[in-house]
Each structure stands twice: as structure tokens, then as C-alpha cells.
Chains A and B, each alone.
Chain A
Amino acid sequence: MISSAIIPQPLAKLPWRLIFLVAGIACIGLMTLYSAAGGSIRPWALKQAITFMVFLCIAVMMSWVKESTIKSIAFPLYGAVLVMLILVELLGFVTKGAQRWLDVGFLRLQPSEFMKPAIVLVLARFYALLPAGDIRKWRAIWPAAALIGVPALLILVQPDLGTCVMVVLGGVTMMFVAGVPMRLFLAGAAAVGVAAPIAFSMMHDYQRKRVFIFLDPESDPLGAGYHISQSKIAIGSGGIFGKGFLNGSQSHLDYLPEGHTDFAFATMVEEWGLFGGLLVILAFGAVIRWGMTVSLNAPSRFAQLAAAGLSATIFFYVSINLMMVMGLAPVVGIPLPLVSFGGSAVMTVMLCLGLLMSLERQQRTSSKLV
């Protein structure tokens, strides 16, 4: 918080540290996109900058929304997103093609993207409503499992494994912090170990291929393992301080595929090195830590759970992308928010941050009242 006589109160009360952090990450992202386009703000950097500014404004505006309002829209929002997911599925069925978005005339809505914050809010609401004594009971588990499972399945069949994984992880984290018995998670982990081979057999060919390639990317460096191999080359060749801005050969010569989207981190690290990569990771760490602090300081159970879940969503976004880019996870198509080109990731993260800012504002105002 910045307090000064010159700055008007509403502005001064914004969480400026967070905004600077986020703007900083976005700036690194914009520079990466500028470089990936060969030193041009077109076609990506300019568009990304506008998208970011718009969603930053939306997030800041959201920070005035009251917790009670968020609480009340949690279920309707979840329901609406679920309906959209079903619509997408039906549309895909009618047009006989995989589809992930709804065309609403002026923009394309990707409902699975909205599901990420929606699942967090709805579970926070659910566990806030649940009497404290019921948390270790069956009724604390099955509704949550259903709330996660139905959209996860709908997203999986789109098929969008990356988003599905994120929705499930977000939901499970919610259940975890809500206090569902620990043995359930241990049992769950064991079940996943058993179920993995079965899930594998049900995967699409391209997904299965990605798993294989994740396990051994060098087995097919020119074919399907190309993404991971080239990404590792880009990151590894950067060294400590990188090859310098606009000097990344891997991205500029098109060896690195998707250098402006999913693999933007590799593009950035090639030019800025370990130093740049560390900066981005630590900046995201600070953002997530801020979110977790909001959760710890939250006065209500809903706010606690919602803030923890929203922070976790950002965490999963960042960490899955980085693990994928550095060859620690299969390529599942999750972008690095604020750095990769693409509106939906920016939108999701900024929505999460907007909600977090709102919750944070309530703590401050409510604590003043106490």
C-alpha cells in the first residue's frame, strides 16, 4: 500500500506491490513476444499488451466486488460454465469435430478456462457451507468429487488434457486445504498409481505419444520429441546470462516450435539465461506467496479457501508449464500465464488475481472495523 497525500485514497488502497509484480512479469512476457516476432510488436506483443491492460483493469475493478457477492455467484457461475461446457460438447458433436470454444459473435469463449476459477469458488462455497463437524464425513467428499469430476470429464473429452489436469489439481487442492482426511489423499495417490495404466489405455493417440516422448524425448528428436528437445536446447544454450535480447537463435530460426506460446519461457531463457529464468520464477513465487498470505489472513472460511485455491491455480499454471518446458513433465499444452501469447491464460490469471485482490481488500476494510 502506498500512502501519500497526493494520491487519491481509492488508488492508494490498491495492492501496488502485486500490481507491479504482475506488470513486471507481463513486461518480460511482452519483450519475449517482441523478440519472438523478430524484433517487432506485431503480431503478438501489441495484442498481448492490450489484452493485459484490459484484464488488469478488469482485475482492479473486481477488487471492489464484495465477498458476499462472490459467494453468492459461486454456484450460478459454476452452473453457467458447466452448461457452456456441455454446449461446446454438443456443438462438437453436431459439427463432427473437436471443439473447445463457443463462438459468441464478437469473441470466442473457452468455457474450460472459466472453469479454473469457477471450480475453486464453488468448492470454497461448498466447504464454507458445510458444518465444521461434517468435514471428515462422506458428505464432505462426494459432492466435491462430483463438482470436480463432471467438468473434468467434459474437458477431458474435448480433448484438453492440460486444462483437465489443472481443474482436477485445483479441486483436489481445495479439498486438501478444506481439511478432508489425509488418508483419503494417500489412498487417492495410491489409486492414481494403480489407475495410471488404465487411463493410459484410454488416452488419445497423440496424448499417449506425448507421454512416451516425455519419458524419452531423445528417442525421436526430429519427430514427436522435437518440442522438448528443442526447448531444452534453447534453455540450456542460454547459459547464465543468455545470448542477449533479440539474439536467440533457437526461436528466431524457428527451431523452437511454439516459441511465442507454450514455449515462451524457453524463448525468454535463451536470451536472458538463468538470470532471466530465475527472475520470472521468483516473481511468480512472490505472486503466489501473496495469494497464500491473503488466504492465511482471510477472516472467513470462504475467503480462506477461495484465496488458497486461486493461488494454487496460478501455481499449477506456472509450474506445469515450466516443468513441461524444461522436460520434467509431458507436453500438455499449458501456457505460461502473462508470458505466453494468448488471451485466455491472461484472462484466467487476471480473474484469479482480481478475486484475490477483492478478498484482500475485504480483510483490510474488515480488520479496520474490528
Chain B
Amino acid sequence: MKNGPKNGGVSNDKRVTSAYQSLTFSRRMLLTSGAQVAVGAVLIGRLGWLSVAENEHYQLLSESNRVQLIMVPPRRGWIVDRKGTPIAINRSDFRVDIIPEQLVNTEQTLKTLAKLLDLSVDDVDRILKDLKAARGYQPVQVAENVPYENYAAVTVRLPELPGVQPMRGFSRFYPDGPAVAHLVGYVGTASAKDYEREKNPLLITPGFKIGKEGLEKTLENNLRGTPGGQRVELSARGKLVRELEPKPDRSGNTVQLTIDAGLQQYAARRLGPQSGSVVVVDCHTGDILAFVSMPAYDPNSFSQGIGRTEWKMLADDDHLPLLNKVTQGLYPCGSTIKPLMSMAFLEAGIDPDRHVVCTGSYRVGNGIFHCDKVHGSVDMHTAIEKSCDIYFYDTGLRAGADIIASMARRLGFGQHFELPVSSQRYGTVPDPEWMQRKYHRKWQAYDTINMSIGQGNILVNPLQLALMGGRIASGKSIQPRLVIGEKTPPAQPLPVSAEHLIFVREAMSAVVNSGRGTASGAKLPIDGVLLAGKTGTAQVRRITMSERAGGVRTNESLAWKMRDHSLFVGFAPVEQPLYACGVIVEHGGWGAAVAAPICRDTLTFLYDPDKAMAVLAPMEEQWGGTLAERTARQAATIEAAAQAALIKRPA
């Protein structure tokens, strides 16, 4: 014990007395007071630190506690065509939401709503789940696109439905329906993944949609706008204390496209039930006037969220309505490559007057290559006009693959363009170097022969096909453009000889206008406007020797999937070209029979819409109604199938 009575205490000379004790007391009191003052100083310092130095920080936190923004989704910007005709707009519709905080009797309210709005059991489950996850004042969606009768029924019974909020909202509307589907895409509710990426509370606001495909997706930033908000003061428990000054929303920007909506719709209707694409470009600016891929889904029904049945029907369709063929469909270009070939031949110094005798077949080594007819002695002009393959086999071998590939690239094949489209497949321009890289083998003569008639490894998309027509027509290295307002430098002149271009344009004109050409049926029914072009029929199957011996089978006798692709590239008017057009009809058969008339009618529409419509009317009658009628009928079929599936499910 250090403080034991014997040896404890202070040293002997310092006796602990009352006087000493009082001295200790004063000293200890001084220490205590000092400590108290120090603590007081710390407290004051801390108070000052919090309320002065950190004031701004805490004020911000306090404000974010106090004020909450109830998002008012902005109206999406319109998409209009080059003349201002709407392509994608907003239609006001009715919607019903629930404010969880104000909800009194969840079960009773939902029961009433289910009856009034015809909600399914799944819908009610979804609402219950959302309500559980919801906090405070964030509304939960009950239903959108509510028919007026049901909306009115809810409104009338509002007094007995506290927390239910019938509202007018907006939904996206595409007046042209499927005709613009692959161009503009569609909108939809943001997925969990979208929200993860952006962390924007707007995305989970009921009724808000984002672009899911096409231009709606790629131009999202421009179209979205800024949300407004009803600013409210909320208590910690989410109770509304008072409404503050609202912050107005700002609609998204209107986006003007280079598209001509009328032409777009016409081309889509003209394709009819066939699987294909039509692209029309301005020869001088590269403006895309029509960007059509058919068949297509109805973006209106997609934007409301499509059912499982509709999705399945679309996904199973062999005409691929979900694929944007304009930029994602790749095809052998067939004989449409011949003008391009001729350009390469001329550049290689081959005399256009050089004649090749067509006997219907051509032998290289062990292989025999065929022509569809026996053309006799042909020069370059005639070879284009009549589409003689033998001429191109023979001359192609003389010119060599490299110069052909170079010309193909200059005319836009294999090129990737700066376009606001979700994805582009830019195809293949084969050459010896590519062959080595891809297939590890040497370029062979038959590769040149295949390429000279646009078969084999060469693949293009419809946009590239149309652009080749535009580049030949104008002699400019035009780049495609979809959105007006984007600053694009004027097109550079094409690095080819102008004389060669004139020669090829004349030959292409002869294809349509000489009376001897392959596309004589595609003459424009417009006085003084001549169409020039080139047909193409791309084989998708190998014709065996035995079949050739017994006569090549006609397309009609083959299964749809085995038939030839039908292609056409053209421009008009011949003298001063304005428009270029590329048409590809999958498994359509002869280029001259299917694709060329589509190009003719589409370009006719630009000059005389009535004349073009007159041609279309009997065709649509045969196909079973206009595009709109057929779309409506298909929607009814889908609805019936979905109903049938629904009835089957519970069993």
C-alpha cells in the first residue's frame, strides 16, 4: 500500500496541516476551473466551426432534407422531317398514379382501382411491390394510356380513393407507324440497367420513357429535355408540409431529319409484304431522304411496352421485322457492282471499245463461269446495258483485284459512316491482302471473277448501295446525313476521272432508257426526267453442274429462302442528277422484275406523288390493304393470340 499509514504521506518536513490543505484546495480549484474554461473554449470553438466554417455544407444538407423535388418528366422533343412534318410526336393520354404517403387503405383502394381500370392480377402484384419499395412522396404508377371512360370513372370516385392521382400524361406517337420503325426506333421505360448507368431519378419517375432503339436512342440527350419539379417541403416521415414554387420543365429539342416523311412512307408501303430496304439520298449533300427497312414492328405498340406474344411473333418472322436492314443487312451486291467495275476498268486503262465475245460460259483453269444469256460480242457500254457477266469476268482479270477493290472503297463500299444509328455493319471489300488475313490463302483468279459480278466475298448494305449511286451521279464523295443542323463540310470531289463518270452514267441511262437494257421497264413516267440505274440479282445458293445441265431452276420454284436477292441502284434525272436510290429486296428474284420498279415508283413519288400512289393502289389491294390496315389487322391477330395464351396459362 503506497499510502499506508506508516510510510505514506508527504515528506516529514512538510506536515499536512489545515493551512496546507487549504493551499492544495486553492490549487486544485484553479486546475478545475482551468479545465472547465478549456472545455468551454472547445465547445465554443466547435460551435463556431459548425455554424460558421461548415455553415454552407450543413445548410445544403438541411435544404436537401427539407425540400424534395417531385419530378415532372419533360416532354420529349419532336422528330420532324426536312419539311417539318412530324415523324415522332407526343400525344396526351391519361394515367393514374398513387402517392404512397396519402394512401389510406391500400387493399380497398387497389380493389376499387382494379375494377375501374380492368387491372390484371399481375398488375396489382406489380403495384403492391412498387408501393412497398416507394418512399414518401414519389408516385407509383397504376396504369398508363387509360381510356377516357375508365379515367373518368376513377376521377368521379376520387373522394373515396385518397392517394390516387389521375393525371394527364404524354405518350410517344409515330404517325407513320412501321414505316419509320427502323429509322426512329421506339421509347420505353428505363430498365434497371439504364438506371444503374445513369443514376438519374428521372428514369424511375412513373410515365417517363427513354429512347430504346434507333434515333430515339442515339439522339436521347437532345430529345430528353430537363425535368421540372413540384418542389415540396417534406417532413422526415414524408408528409407534405407545403408546396414551394414549382420549377418548370423544359421540353426536349425538336430534331429535324433529312428524311422526307412522305417519301419514307411511300417507299415503305411500296415494299409491301416483301423483306427489303429502300434508301434514297440527295446526290450532292448526302442527305438521306428515305431510310426504309421492311417489314417492321409498330413503334407505337413498342413504346407502350409490348407483350410476350407480339415479341415472339416478331422474333419468329423469317422476314426479320426486328432487323434494321438498311445498316445491318449485308448482301452480295450482284450486278449492281458493274458500273463500279467499269470505273475501275477505265482507270486501269482498258479501252471501252474493247470487245469480248460472250458464248454463255467462260473457262478459267478448271472452273467454268456462266452468263445468263449468250450476248455475242460486247463492249463496255453494252456489257453494262445488258449486264453481260462474261465481259466482266474477262476484263476483271485484266484489270486485277487491287484496282477494283480501291474503286469499291472510293465509292463507299466497306465504309463505316458517321450516323446516329444504333449499329452499322459495313460489309466487306475483299482484296488479296484481306484474303490472306482472313482465310490465309492466296487470291485466286476465280476470286476476281466472282467479285467482278458482285458475288463471292463482297458484301454491302443498302445504304452503301444507294450512296454508290449518289457518288457516281454527282462525282462527289458524299457522306450520308440524317440530322439537319449537324455541320458537315461540303462533299469533296470523288478521286476519279470525270470522263469515266460520264461514260458510266450514259451506260446506266441506257440500262433503263435504251430499250435494249435490262431495266427497260423502270423508265420514269415523268416527262423530261430520265432514270439511270443498274439491276442486280444476287445468288444465295450454289447452282450445281447437274442443275445447270437440266436447266437452272426458276426462282418461283424455289423455297423463299433460296431465291435470289433482287437489287437495283439508280439515280435521276440523268442530265443533272438529284436523287440516288438503292433498293434491295431479299429473295425477291430478278433485279429488273422487283427492285427496279420499286426504285422507279419511289423516285416517281418525288416528282408526282399522285401518279406514284395510283400505281400503288392496285398492289395494296392485292396485298390485303394499306400498310396501316395491315398493321391494325396484325395487332388484332396478336391481341387474339395473347388472349388465347392467357386463357391457356392458368390450366
Contact = CB atoms under 8 A, between A and B. Distances in A.
Q: How large is the interface on A (under 10, 10 to 19, 20 to 34, 35 or more residues)?
A: 35 or more
A326 B36 contact: no
Interface in A216-243: 230, 232-240
A250 B66 CA distance: 7
Contacts of A236: 50-51, 54-55, 57-59, 61-62
A237 B61 contact: yes
Contact of A237 (B15, B62, B235): B62
A362 interface: no
A132 B10 CA distance: 12
Nearest to A184: B3
Nearest to B44: A281
B16 A132 contact: yes
B43 A326 contact: yes
A295 B241 CA distance: 52
B44 A292 contact: no
Interface string B1-30: 101110011100001111011001110110
Interface centre among B1, B43, B54 (most CB of A within 10 A): B43
Contact of B40 (A135, A232, A233, A319): A319
Contact of A249 (B18, B29, B62): B62
Contacts of A274: 47-48, 51-52
A330 interface: no
Contacts of B54: 236
Nearest to B31: A176
A73 interface: no
B65 interface: yes
A278 interface: yes
B146 interface: no
A193 to B, nearest CB: 18
Interface string A285-321: 1001100100110000100100010001001000100
A296 B25 CA distance: 9
A188 interface: no
B65 A233 contact: yes
A138 interface: yes
A312 B66 contact: no
B616 interface: no
B144 interface: no
A273 B36 CA distance: 23
A322 interface: yes
Contacts of B20: 132
A328 B50 CA distance: 12
A233 B58 contact: yes
Given A176-B28, A233-B65, A239 B52 contact: yes
B39 interface: yes
B119 to A, nearest CB: 33
Contacts of A105: none
A254 B237 contact: yes
The SS class assigned to the A binding surface is helix
B547 to A, nearest CB: 76
A189 interface: no
Interface in B229-265: 233-237, 241
Nearest to A298: B25
B61 A136 contact: no
Contacts of A140: 3
B92 interface: no
Nearest to A274: B51
Contacts of B63: 237
B50 A255 contact: no
A138 B47 contact: no
A319 B39 contact: yes
Interface string A172-183: 010011110100
A292 B33 contact: yes
B393 to A, nearest CB: 77
A237 B59 contact: yes
B32 A173 contact: yes
Contacts of A255: 62, 65-66, 235-236
A137 B4 contact: yes
Contacts of A132: 16-18, 20-21
Contacts of B606: none
A249 to B, nearest CB: 4
B32 A250 contact: no
Contacts of B59: 236-237, 239
B21 to A, nearest CB: 5
A304 B51 contact: no
Interface in A27-60: none
Interface in B38-84: 39-40, 42-44, 46-48, 50-52, 54-55, 57-59, 61-63, 65-66
Nearest to A256: B236
B58 A304 contact: no
A288 B51 contact: no
B47 A269 contact: yes
B40 A235 contact: no
A323 interface: yes
B66 A138 contact: no
B47 A253 contact: no
A8 interface: no
Contact of B235 (A232, A239, A253, A278): A253
Contact of A239 (B8, B21, B40, B55): B55
Nearest to B62: A237
Contacts of B233: 249, 253
A239 B234 contact: no
Interface in A264-278: 269, 273-274, 277-278
Contact of B65 (A235, A240, A250, A323): A250
B29 A237 contact: no
Contacts of A232: 50, 58
B236 A254 contact: yes
B40 A281 contact: yes
Contacts of B241: 253
Nearest to B30: A296
B185 to A, nearest CB: 40
Given A135-B21, A138-B8, A238-B51, A328 B66 contact: no
A296 B26 CA distance: 7
Given A137-B8, A239-B51, A295-B29, A234 B62 contact: yes
Contacts of B46: 323, 326-328
A87 interface: no
Interface in A238-264: 238-240, 249-250, 253-255
Nearest to B19: A132
A304 to B, nearest CB: 6
Interface string A147-181: 00000000000000000000000000100111101
Interface in A324-347: 326-328
A232 B28 CA distance: 35
A273 to B, nearest CB: 6
Contacts of B21: 132, 135, 179, 301
A136 B32 contact: no
Given A236-B58, A296-B26, A181 B3 contact: yes
A302 B54 CA distance: 46
Contact of B29 (A136, A240, A308): A308
Contacts of A295: 29
Contacts of B65: 230, 233, 249-250, 253, 255
Contacts of A249: 62, 65-66, 233
Contacts of A250: 62, 65-66
Interface string A116-154: 000000000000000011011111110000000000000
27 contacts: A136-B8, A136-B16, A137-B5, A177-B29, A178-B28, A179-B28, A232-B50, A232-B58, A235-B47, A236-B51, A239-B55, A253-B234, A254-B236, A255-B65, A255-B66, A255-B235, A255-B236, A273-B51, A274-B52, A292-B33, A301-B21, A301-B25, A308-B29, A308-B32, A312-B36, A323-B46, A328-B46
Going nearest first, the 4 A-B pairs with the smallest beta carbon separation are A236-B58, A237-B62, A254-B236, A179-B24
Given A177-B32, A327-B46, 10 more contacts: A133-B17, A135-B21, A140-B3, A239-B52, A278-B47, A281-B43, A288-B36, A292-B32, A292-B33, A296-B29
